[in-house]
Structure formats: structure tokens, C-alpha cells
Amino acid sequence: MRNLVEEKFLEFYESWVIQLELYLHQLLIAHNTMSETELRALISKLTTHHKAYYTAKWAAIGEDVLAFFGPIWLNPLEKACFWLTGWKPSTVFRMVDRLRKYSRVVLVEAQVRKLEELRVKTKFDEQKIEREMERYQVAMADRKMVELARLGCHVGGESVVVVEAAVRGLATGLEKMVKAADCVRLKTLKGILDILAPPQCVEFLAAAATFQVQLRRWGNRRHNVTHS
């Protein structure tokens, strides 16, 4: 059964994706119709749109972080591509590599060097979060947590209070890790956009939006066929 947090974020996310598709259309025709000033304005709109997602997400995880580990607003294919409730930051560098190989994105030496420095920093941050997540999982399997689970089998009394306090503590830990992962995502996105020139930013944002929109369409189509 869906709770209020899930219902509200489902409504937000569906509206957010619809707006992303509208922006995608603008990105795809931008090279032929926009000046550099207009390109910068469009890039700003996209970054604001992504920031709005994280603002809404952080408000929601403050109420129910566990909803983001089994999100009802995503199809199974989208969920399969997730890393700690979102896209894995290092994957965007493969997207940049493909753009360099298959599109008109040509980088100068200074851009290549800065992207490589950002790639190394992003990978370091990812590994740091993954190590923290491993420690967290070990803590959940700790003997104290097993004892709390045993206490939870008894109805009423202090055991329920103890278990509820432990669960709140675990949720707080998860919230911190999700926000840390989101910060790496945002820093990586900003870093790439700072390195690329406006026309290159448009190419990159168009590729990222296309992937997200198509992944949702393919996943929904497959999910609907499976359940029809």
C-alpha cells in the first residue's frame, strides 16, 4: 500500500519527467535555432530543473528514505540502473566519451585534462560512499541488530520502543548516505558543464535526457507487456 510520501513524489516525478521531455525537444533543435546567449539560458533551465528534483527528493527522504530504495515511480528497468537511489556519477564520463566518438563534440587538450581530473575525483568519492555503505550493512547485521529483531517479536513494552529507536537510527544513516551520493551526482554534473563549452553542454544534456526518457519508455513498455 502506498503512503503519502510515495503518492506525492510519484505525482512530482511524473510532472518532472514531462517537463524534461519538453526541454529535450528544445535541446535537440538548439544548434540550429539558438544563439550562444540562448544556449546558456537553456542550459541554466536544465540545471535548475535537475536541482528542483533533488530539492523535492531531499524533502521526501526526510519523511521516508526507505521509499527511495523501492521507488513506486520507477519501472524495473529504471531501478536496475540505479546506484544508491540515483544514477551512478561515473557513468556520465562514458556518455562524454561516446559523444566525442560519435558526434561533433571535439575537446581541446585542457578540457580533456580537466575531465580526467574530475573523473578521478568522482571515482574516489563513489568508492568512499560504497565503503561507507558496506560498513553500514555490516552494522545492520551486527549482533545488536539481531537482538533488536528478536525483541521486536514481542509485542508491547520497552522492546517496541527500542526497536523503533533503532530503525530511526538506521533511517538517519541511510538518509546521510543518499544525500552524500546525490552531492557527488550534482558536483559531477556541475563539473562537466563547467568544463564544456555551451554547444557541448547542449549535446551532453541532450544525450543524458534522451537516455533517461528512453529508458523510462522502454521500461514502461516492457513492464506493461509483462503484466498485460
The rounded distance, in Å, linking the Cα atoms of 164 and 152 is: 9
pLDDT at 162 over 90: no
| Average pLDDT of the chain, as a whole number | 89
Give the mean pLDDT of 98-111.
Answer: 92
Kindly report the pTM of this predicted structure.
Answer: 0.88
**What's the pLDDT band for 104 if we cut at 50, 70, 90?**
confident
Nearest to 172, CA basis, from 85, 9, 59, 63: 63
Those residues with Cβ within 8 angstroms of residue 98's Cβ, 6 or more apart along the chain or in another chain: 207
How many other C-beta atoms are found inside a 10 Å radius of the C-beta of residue 139? 13
Cell numbers for 223: 513492464
**Helical packing angle, 4-33 and 198-226, nearest 10°:** 130
Dihedral sign of CA atoms 46, 3, 61, 146 in order: negative
Nearest to 167, CA basis, from 182, 152, 155: 152
The rounded distance, in Å, linking the Cα atoms of 99 and 208 is: 11
pLDDT at 156 over 60: no
Cα 90 vs. chain centroid, distance in angstroms?
12
Give the mean pLDDT of 79-108.
Answer: 93
AA identity, residue 127: Q
